[in-house]
Amino acid sequence: MTRIQLFLCIIAISVPSMAAAQTMKFEEAAAMLAASCGKDIDDNCRGVNLDATRLKECLGRNQDVVSAKCRTDYPQALGAIQQRITARTSLVRLCNWELNRFCREVRHDPVKGLQCLLESTKKATPNCNKAISAAGYH
């Protein structure tokens, strides 16, 4: 398995996404990164922990040998991935009221808490619904 395939698998497993129109989906960002930078990642970023920040640093450090297509596309693709990750990490804070009110019994279970939160969107505050959309769950 190549490094880019491994990266795509990690993205697909750890951050599944349902579209929010204003933000690129994880799948789209990963596909763009694979198409534009797969060979460059394999050739120049061996040993890099494949997370968005470290990969961006590696590609930036190696800009002189990275393909023009990769240099053009990786900031957008990795930016979209990072934006989703940031939105998902802030979701609990932004939907704390809903979690306490509607999902108290499963709040500390990440899977059941998220499932309960998504089922409660009709009763959620506008800020929480906006956070759910930004995280890619709407």
Give the pLDDT mean for 21-27. Answer: 69
State residue 25's pLDDT score: 83
Question: Quick one: pLDDT at residue 16?
Answer: 42
Q: Give residue-wise pLDDT tens across range 37-47.
A: 999 999 999 87
Regarding predicted confidence, which is higher, 3 or 120?
A: 120
Contact status, residue 78 vs residue 56, Cβ threshold 8 Å: yes
Q: For residue 78, give Cα distances in angstroms to 15, 31, 61.
A: 13, 11, 15
Which pLDDT value is given to residue 90? 93
* Range 23-39 average pLDDT: 88
The residue extents of the domains of the chain are 1-88, 95-138
The pTM (predicted TM-score) of the whole model is 0.68
